[in-house]
Amino acid sequence: MNNEIIRLGQITIRFLAESADTNGSLAMFEFTVPAGAKVPVPHFHKDYDETIYGLEGVMTFTVEGKPVPVGRGECIFIPRGVAHGFDNLAQANARALAVITPALLKSDFFKDIAGLLTRGGPPDVAAMKAIMLKHGLVPVMPQPPAS
């Protein structure tokens, strides 16, 4: 198992188990989101589920448009096909564990995104979307509130 830290702007990710470690059953990574950090666009996963377990601080996940705070010792299950995103709205860093089942999301996704972000300048939205789709994440643009 590789404990390499991958940086996506202010967010850090450290894989604890990948597909090769678990015979494809699950992937697991720890991620840290500082207060006020830029976070990924809302998305859904086509072929895998995600379970988040809070380790430190509070992250607010938005699942199908509803905010769900996840603090230390709390858990949320996000089934495949369900649109979600997250933010750290608190004034302190937040850290959580993500479990992906089956292990279809690999560290390569985060490395590809990190490579894109380190090019400098504004993010290339089309390239980011292509990377997400390649790795089974489908970006979902937020809908304006109904009036």
Model pLDDT for residues 14-64, shown as the tens digit of each residue = 999 999 999 999 999 999 999 988 788 899 999 999 999 999 999 999 998
Could you tell me which residue, 3 or 146, shows the higher pLDDT? 3
Q: In terms of CATH architecture, what is 5-137?
A: Sandwich (2.60)
Averaged pLDDT for residues 114-122: 84
Q: What percent of the chain has pLDDT over 70?
A: 95
pTM of the model: 0.89
The pLDDT of 123-147, averaged and rounded, is 82
DSSP string, 49-89: EEEEEEEESEEEEEETTEEEEEEBT-EEEE-TT--EEEE--
